[in-house]
Amino acid sequence: MISERQPRQGAQAIRRALSVLRLLAAGRDTGVPLSEVVKATALSRPTVHRIVHVLIEEGIVERNAAGRYAIGGQVGELALARPSRSPLLVAAEPHLARASEVLGDTLFLTVRTGLDTLSVARRIGAYPIQVLSIEVGARRPLGVSSAGVAILAALPATEARKIVATNAVRFEPYRTTPAVVLARIQAARRRGYGIADVGLVQGTKSISVWIKNPDGAPVAAITLSAIRNRLGPRREADVADTLLATARAVEMEMAG
């Protein structure tokens, strides 16, 4: 009995540490207070404190002058072990460049990583007013952005609802709720793509389409963000068609 329990306990400890790391990654250089990590993970404060303390000892986490916790320098060093770009990025880049040239607005490539979305690429268009609301490296809970909604819409309904419920407490800083997110997911399924009528910046609007891997699982999304008067009903449909065609081209590229 003891030998069976220990591996399970070890796996649980690793999963808890990873959940803490993902939350800290969302805080980027600013960091995240311990209380927020406790609230978002539903772990006890002593457990979170113990995990963070070990990660600090290993150089994976740092505590800044404001008393907040952030990803440490050792993570960047570990990332150097894999300098090559992901197959998704390699497949997507030429298609993103082409779509950005055609549409003229900023395009973002966002991937799913666990319960989060991570912005991994950005293409700035030629239109004089560009929306640069999302930086490469920005991490957010799945469901907050139009990209996250699009990815969730492409998942089985049961799995999407489970993710939304798990992320519920993390939605509060973004001024949204599970009910709102679920409604947006349903609308994206009906429409075939996700829309954020109010983007991360006031006066902007975003359209997102999902990308599936060869196994059929949604792994990423392409998002166009623009000022609202650039995305009226007629152009919205044209932009959505271009983004959908781009996503299908990326999928075909990944399938070889």
Span 116-148, pLDDT tens digits: 898 889 888 887 777 766 777 888 899 999 999
Q: What is the mean pLDDT of the chain?
A: 84
Superfamily of domain 87-255: GAF domain (3.30.450.40)
CATH architecture, domain defined by 2-79: Orthogonal Bundle (1.10)
With a cut of 80, say whether residue 22 has pLDDT above it: no
Q: What is the mean pLDDT of residues 175-201?
A: 88
The dihedral sign for the CA sequence 195, 149, 151, 154: negative
Distance separating alpha carbons of residues 44 and 23, to the nearest angstrom: 15
Query: What is the model's pLDDT at position 36?
Result: 81
Q: Give CATH 3.30.450.40 domain extents, the chain.
A: 87-255
19-23, 109-113, 201-205, range with the lowest pLDDT:
201-205
Q: Give CATH 1.10.10.10 domain extents, the chain.
A: 2-79
What order do you get walking across the sheet with 139-141 strand by strand?
139-141, 116-123, 106-113, 218-227, 204-212, 194-196
Which helix (H) or strand (E) is 170 found in, with range?
A: none
Share of the chain above pLDDT 90, in %: 37
With a cut of 60, say whether residue 2 has pLDDT above it: no
Taking CA atoms, 131 is separated from 151, 227, 229, in Å, by: 21, 7, 13
Q: Using 50, 70 and 90 to split pLDDT, how confident is the model at 82?
A: low
Q: Which pTM does this prediction carry?
A: 0.74
**Half-sphere exposure of 110 toward its Cβ, with a 13 Å CA cutoff?**
34
Kindly give, in sequence order, each residue whose CB lies less than 8 Å from that of residue 210, ignoring residues fewer than 6 positions away. Answer: 150, 151, 153, 154, 193, 194, 218, 220, 221, 247
Angle subtended at Cα 230 by Cα 245 and Cα 200, rounded to the nearest 5 degrees: 85
With a cut of 70, say whether residue 9 has pLDDT above it: no
55-69, 102-116, 152-166, 240-254, range with the lowest pLDDT:
55-69
